[in-house]
Structure 1
Amino acid sequence: MRAAIYYTPPAGSPLAMTAHRWLGRNPFDGEATREPDEARDPLVGSPARYGFHATIVAPFDLADTADLSHVDARLSEFCAAQRPFLLTARVPEKLGPFFALIPGEPSEELFAMEEAAVRAFAPFRAPLSEAAIARRRPDRLTERQRAYLEEWGYPYVFEEFRFHMTLSGALSEEQAGALRPALDEAFAAFDGETLTIDQLAIFVEPEPGAPFRVHSVHRFGTV
């Protein structure tokens, strides 16, 4: 089993419900949210498996000395010490080969929270295997990203971190052009809207390749 620390909006919020319908799956209950779509489903299969989220601490195997209850208790403590902050949503935006929701401007609160979380949960993470490192294609990473991968288990932390909530897999230009009108229509109401960052969740992958499910959600400033 792997665990991850993600930001995701409340399950019943308009943004979450729209994203779950778009991806075809709700990670809170694991249920399908619409009928299968032969055209869309192959293009959103990867983010649908992970669930609508922004990565704060990337998926990790638990260390031998840890179990999920330890991670859950630590996240409760961590979130109790955080205070909500706001981002402006830009969606749908192209981020490399895929579409995502991204912030409209940099946020010091966001970067501080991400760095603190990466450090706080490092003791619960098992070291990466050689095979796991190889899957990250270290030959394509910068020197700093390779160093972060080896030390922190993920190349995109600290200065390399970029908040994004993925809405498609990697697309060709033709696929992106075909998908864009439906994305624009689905998410038009959220472009430029204020996004409140006030909770984090533990997502779990029960076995390799299985869909991720929400295990627990912890609100900021509360225990």
Structure 2
Amino acid sequence: MVGAGLMRYAVYFAPRPGTLLHALGSSWLGRDSHSGEEFLQPPVAGLHGLTAEARRYGFHATLKPPFAMRDGIGGDAILRAVAALAASEAPFELGLRVALLDGFMALLPDAPCLALDALAARCVRDLDGFRRPPPAAELARRRKAPLTLRQDENLERWGYPYVFEDFRFHMTLTERLPHDQGDALVAAARAHFAPALAQPVAIDGLTLFCEAGAGRPFLAIRHFPFQGPVAEAAE
């Protein structure tokens, strides 16, 4: 855990406000991470309790995991860096589906996408100079989960185990589900998100999020659109 009051930043893919996917994701979790507004969720049994942590983080997919800033670096510097990274990237499209991942429910890619993997890797590498190394307690907490040797090396070097070859794009929809609720929740989520997932989703920008203190809700600070030439096809 970061210390109380220590601000953290993260770089996410988050659908822009005004898009159908943003509206449906915010509705499912019960909070709009751009405006901070909270509202009633769909009438699905147990949904509020099973989305508590996902609601705090906001509807997103992680590209650069949350990090505290190194001493002496101001917030304007990370804004400029994310803007520059986004300006050099080209938009592409990604098919998404509702599925279970390690026991929790998420939106997952329906096929491998090299452009997506490259984007995540670049976010991890290019923005790492801003990251304060995690404290020993945070490393110990991460190591309570079974980690491979490569994941442990990632944790030491990059502050997070699931990067590069271990990166898995996902937009979290629930916490780990009880065995007797998985099928019903997956069916409900598929119906809820169907209008937005009928067509590929545009991966067209990066959004910088901020957690103002430990346990506080993550809020979107700014969306940075990709400005490179549009890719002919996602791989």
Q: Secondary structure at the match of 1:174?
A: coil
Q: Which residue of 1 aligns with 2:24?
A: 18
Q: TM-score, normalised by structure 1?
A: 0.94
Measured in 2, the distance between the counterparts of 1:35 and 1:180 equals: 15
* Equivalent residue pairs, number: 221
Cα deviation code 1:168-192 (max 9, x no counterpart):
1111211223423321221122345
1:145 aligned counterpart, secondary structure: helix
What is the alpha-carbon root mean square deviation over aligned residues? 1.6
Question: Contact 2:27–2:41 at 8 Å: present in 1 too?
Answer: no
Q: Which runs of 4+ in 1 moved over 3 A?
A: 35-38
5+ residue gaps, structure 2: 1-6, 229-235
TM-score by length of 2: 0.89
* 2:70 equivalent in structure 1: 63
Segments of 5+ residues of structure 1 without an aligned counterpart are: none
Instruction: Identify the residue that residue 128 of structure 1 maps to in structure 2.
Output: 134
* 1:90-128 deviation digits (Å, cap 9, x = unpaired): 1x1111111111111111111111111111111000011
Of residues 110-119 and 180-189 in structure 1, the stretch that sits farther from structure 2 once superposed is: 180-189
1:47 is matched with 54
Looking at secondary structure, tell me which structure has more helix per residue.
Answer: 1
Calculate percent identity across the aligned residue pairs: 38
1:175 aligned residue: 181
Q: Does 1:207 align with 2:213?
A: yes
Q: Does 1:165 align with 2:171?
A: yes
Deviations along 1:142-186, one digit per CA (max 9) or x if unpaired, are 110000001001101100001110111111211223423321221
